[in-house]
Amino acid sequence: MARCPNCGRETLRTEDWACQWCGYPLLGRGYKKIDKTFKQLQEERQYGSNSSDTGSKEESEFERDLDEEVDLEPEPEPRPEPRLRFSHRPQPRPGIKAEPEPEEEPELDNEAAPEPETVHESEPAPAPRPVPTPIPRPATPPQPELKMEPAAKPEPEIDPRPVLIKLEAASGEIQVSVDEINSVFQSDKLSANAKLTAKILTVTGIVEKVFVREHLEIRYLVLTGTRRMTVWKVRGTFGKENGSLLGKLAEGQTVAVRGEYDGYGNNIIMKNCAVVI
């Protein structure tokens, strides 16, 4: 089960997207859902603690009543001690002589007799061991030299700036991928921002994150590129009329999004977006 990043406990996600223990917002998709809000869970915990307090009070009163009942019970009368009966041994009849009991033979004290001391003879000194002659190891054949394969040369990156200028002059709408717009902003973000201001972009990329909260009117997705390290990702916000398709998108899916360029911060920002089918 996934843990809350705030309290560190294993938790479920409530209907209002919060931790069931501390109410911290859980926006990831790795949490299981519970069909209750955080406020409902708080009320249930408070009601449960009150009921346990009343239950413990009732148990203590019940135990006190039992102790009083036990004290009021009369003590049982002591039982009379049983009388001891003495049995008389039968006396021997006249004319019959009692056989004397055999006397126990005294045990021999084994410790009395001292044991003879054993005289240890001096052992002869051990003879010196012969020194083993070292056996020469066979000469190992020389290992063949490993040929190092030449490293593959990195493919040169194509500067996408001429493509942007050409498309801008042709139709007024710029079609570009996340990898291309990432290269443009890495080379000169101020110049790229000036060229893309108030322009309509159609950006193709891979869905990294989808976030939809209808009760908060928050709908956006984040697109990343095919390269491992994409510095400038694209974040597109959607209106209520165009946000219905966001719930059908999955992370890792390649999509195209059309929207108006709205500056940059941590990501490149687009507004009034729509998914291009």
Predicted confidence (pLDDT) per residue in 222-242, tens digit:
999 998 888 899 999 998 887
Band of pLDDT at residue 74, cut at 50, 70 and 90: low
| For residue 56, pLDDT beyond 90 | no
Measured distance CA(272)–CA(277) in Å, rounded: 16
Antiparallel, parallel or unpaired: β 200-213 and 173-177: parallel
Q: Determine the pLDDT at residue 102.
A: 54
Nearest partner of 266 among 227, 203, 224, 226, judged by Cα: 224
Domains of the chain as residue ranges with CATH = 1-73 (no CATH), 161-276 (2.40.50.140)
The first and second tokens of residue 236, run together, are 């597109």
pLDDT single digits (tens) 255-268: 999 999 999 999 99
Band of pLDDT at residue 177, cut at 50, 70 and 90: very high
**What pTM value is reported for the model?**
0.40
pLDDT single digits (tens) 1-42: 788 888 888 888 888 888 988 888 877 777 888 888 888 888
